């Protein structure tokens, strides 16, 4: 039994990367019934019994490379966005970083700890929020879940009280503490979950889609809180999301993965450049007019008095807005960020074209 590679000596380089991944892979075995060749279906059923029997017994072992050789380092105190389309491997990566999934290959270390081997020890250093799942106790008031965290992580009393007070204030939880979790709205529950992940002062916080399903105001609250947490406490944050605005407002650095591979690791501006992505200006005019023609903008769609104009995401919207306001009977206007899927889809196409 020697599946593990290097044993000793990996605590030494924990300094330069707080979170370190080195060629990490995760392969899932998926069993599914094999399809009976080309003529499967109703026609196939009518054929010889022996053949059908074999077809029924044979199960194809099929492998999904959810994470396919990812390497990166995150220094202490950084806030990093981890994005990619559905099924890219983001949640799988986070699960490996918490130790609830063992990698199939490669090495990883978090705060100098091998997550899958010392899951419980690591738990004291990390906080995790899975947007789609809750760690809160469903039938009991929010405060009861926090009391459990107090015991579970053996948080000193004074420390617990101070952290709880801080979270309650910044996440606006005072009114909610006595409400059973099942009665909380999605946004309230998410804030409750974020607080629960932070009561034991973790040095690292993983957030898997913390803004999923939240309205604009709740998203803003969550973002403000995270920004403040990172700035004041120096908490290292790894964040996955499908909302590019989260990344824009919070992270200097963004990593993009697709099909389990790291496609991009750098600043957000660079991502837009590579993706040649465009933002969209939605313009409401007083009346129906022919498509607006301006340099640096491309008319995309017209629907009655409403028009959509695309412009490069790396450019500022201001000059364009000024021109439109000056030349057209403008009623209302808004800017839409490119959605992450489009940016990545373009990146992916570009890459395979090279």
Partner 1 sequence: MRLYIAVAAGGFRRYATYRVATFAGVFTNTVFGYIMAYTYMALWDQRPRLGGYDLPEALTYVWLGQALLATCAMMGGGFESELIERIRTGDVAVDLYRPADLQLWWLAVDLGRAAFHLLGRGIVPMVLGSFVFELALPADPLTWLAFLVAVTLGVVVSFAIRFLVALSAFWLMDGAGAAQMALLAGLFFSGMLLPLPVFPGALGEVAAVLPWSSLLQIPADVLLGKHTGWDLAAAYAFQAGWAVALLAAGRVLQSVATRRVVVQGG
The residue ranges that bind ligand ATP (CB under 6 A) are: 28, 30, 64, 66, 84, 86-92
DSSP class of residue 42? H
H/E element holding 17? none
Closer CB to partner 1, residue 151 or residue 175?
A: 151
List residues bridging with 240 in a β-sheet.
Answer: 82, 208
CB of 76 within 8 A of CB of 18? Answer: yes
As a whole number of angstroms, the distance between CA 73 and CA 262 comes to 12
Q: What does the radius of gyration of the chain's CA atoms come to, in whole angstroms?
A: 25
Picked from ligand ATP, partner 1, Mg ion, none, the partner binding residue 124 (CB below 5 to 8 A depending on kind) is partner 1
In terms of Cβ atoms closer than 10 Å to its own Cβ (0-12, 13-18, 19+), residue 170 is middle
Picked from Mg ion, ligand ATP, partner 1, none, the partner binding residue 86 (CB below 5 to 8 A depending on kind) is ligand ATP
Please work out the total of residues on this chain that contact Mg ion, with binding judged by CB under 5 A: 1
Closer CB to ligand ATP, residue 19 or residue 66?
A: 66
CB of 234 to partner 1, least distance (A): 22
Q: In this chain, which stretch among 51-59, 119-127, 282-290, 328-336 interacts with partner 1, using CB under 8 A?
A: 119-127
Closer CB to partner 1, residue 159 or residue 351?
A: 159
Closer CB to ligand ATP, residue 168 or residue 238?
A: 238
As a whole number of angstroms, the distance between CA 268 and CA 279 comes to 14
Closer CB to ligand ATP, residue 172 or residue 341?
A: 341
Picked from partner 1, ligand ATP, Mg ion, none, the partner binding residue 211 (CB below 5 to 8 A depending on kind) is none
As a whole number of angstroms, the distance between CA 19 and CA 287 comes to 55
* 3-state class (DSSP) for residue 243: coil
CB of 65 to ligand ATP, least distance (A): 8
In terms of Cα–Cα distance, which of 241, 193, 194, 191 is closest to 217? Answer: 191
CB of 258 within 8 A of CB of 348? Answer: yes
Residue 32 engages partner 1 in binding (rule: CB under 8 A):
no
Q: From residue 75 to residue 104, what is the string marking binding to partner 1 with x (rule CB under 8 A)?
A: -----------------x--x--xxxxx--
Closer CB to ligand ATP, residue 171 or residue 238?
A: 238
What is the chain's length? 354
CB of 257 to ligand ATP, least distance (A): 7
As a whole number of angstroms, the distance between CA 329 and CA 343 comes to 32
Picked from ligand ATP, partner 1, Mg ion, none, the partner binding residue 148 (CB below 5 to 8 A depending on kind) is partner 1
Token code pair at residue 183:
């009665």
Contacts of 350 (CB under 8 A, 6+ apart): 274, 275, 276
Residue 186 engages partner 1 in binding (rule: CB under 8 A):
no
As a whole number of angstroms, the distance between CA 223 and CA 214 comes to 11
Q: In this chain, which stretch among 35-43, 90-98, 219-227, 256-264 interacts with Mg ion, using CB under 5 A?
A: 90-98
Closer CB to Mg ion, residue 92 or residue 163?
A: 92
Q: Within positions 129 to 158, which residues make up the interface with partner 1, using CB under 8 A?
A: 130, 133-135, 137, 139-140, 144, 147-148, 151-153
Picked from Mg ion, partner 1, ligand ATP, none, the partner binding residue 233 (CB below 5 to 8 A depending on kind) is none
In terms of Cα–Cα distance, which of 177, 122, 170, 119 is closest to 147? Answer: 177
Token code pair at residue 336:
């839409």
List residues bridging with 129 in a β-sheet.
Answer: 207
Q: What residue ranges bind partner 1 (CB under 8 A)? A: 28-29, 92, 95, 98-102, 116, 119-120, 123-124, 126, 128, 130, 133-135, 137, 139-140, 144, 147-148, 151-153, 180
């Amino acid at each position: 039994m020697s599946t593990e590679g290097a044993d000793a000596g990996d605590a030494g380089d924990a300094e330069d990367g707080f979170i370190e991944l080195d060629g990490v892979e995760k392969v899932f075995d998926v069993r599914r019934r094999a399809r009976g060749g080309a003529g499967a279906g109703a026609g196939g059923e009518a054929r010889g019994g022996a053949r059908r029997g074999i077809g029924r017994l044979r199960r194809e072992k099929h492998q999904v490379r959810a994470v396919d050789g990812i390497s990166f380092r995150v220094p202490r105190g950084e806030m990093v966005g981890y994005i990619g389309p559905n099924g890219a491997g983001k949640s799988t990566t986070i699960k490996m970083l918490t130790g609830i999934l063992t990698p199939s290959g490669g090495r990883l270390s978090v705060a100098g700890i091998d997550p899958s081997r010392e899951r419980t020890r690591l738990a004291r250093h990390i906080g995790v929020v899975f947007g789609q799942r809750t760690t809160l106790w469903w039938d009991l008031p929010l405060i009861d879940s926090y009391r459990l965290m107090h015991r579970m992580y053996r948080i000193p009393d004074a420390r617990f009280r101070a952290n709880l007070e801080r979270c309650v204030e910044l996440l606006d939880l005072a009114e909610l503490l006595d409400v059973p979790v099942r009665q909380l709205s999605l946004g309230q529950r998410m804030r409750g979950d974020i607080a629960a992940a932070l009561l034991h002062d973790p040095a690292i916080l993983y957030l898997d889609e913390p803004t999923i399903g939240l309205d604009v105001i709740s998203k803003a609250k969550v973002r403000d809180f995270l920004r403040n947490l990172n700035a004041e406490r120096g908490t290292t944050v790894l964040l996955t999301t499908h909302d590019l605005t989260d990344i824009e407002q919070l992270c200097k650095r963004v990593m993009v993965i697709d099909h389990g591979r790291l496609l991009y690791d750098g600043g957000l501006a660079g991502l837009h450049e590579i993706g040649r992505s465009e933002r969209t200006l939605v313009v409401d005019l007083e009346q129906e007019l022919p498509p607006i023609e301006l340099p640096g903008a491309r008319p995309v769609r017209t629907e009655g008095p409403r028009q959509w104009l695309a412009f490069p995401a790396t450019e500022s919207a201001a000059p364009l807005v000024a021109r439109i306001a000056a030349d057209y009977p403008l009623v209302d206007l808004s800017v839409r960020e490119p959605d992450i899927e489009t940016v990545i889809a373009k990146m992916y196409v570009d890459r395979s074209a090279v």
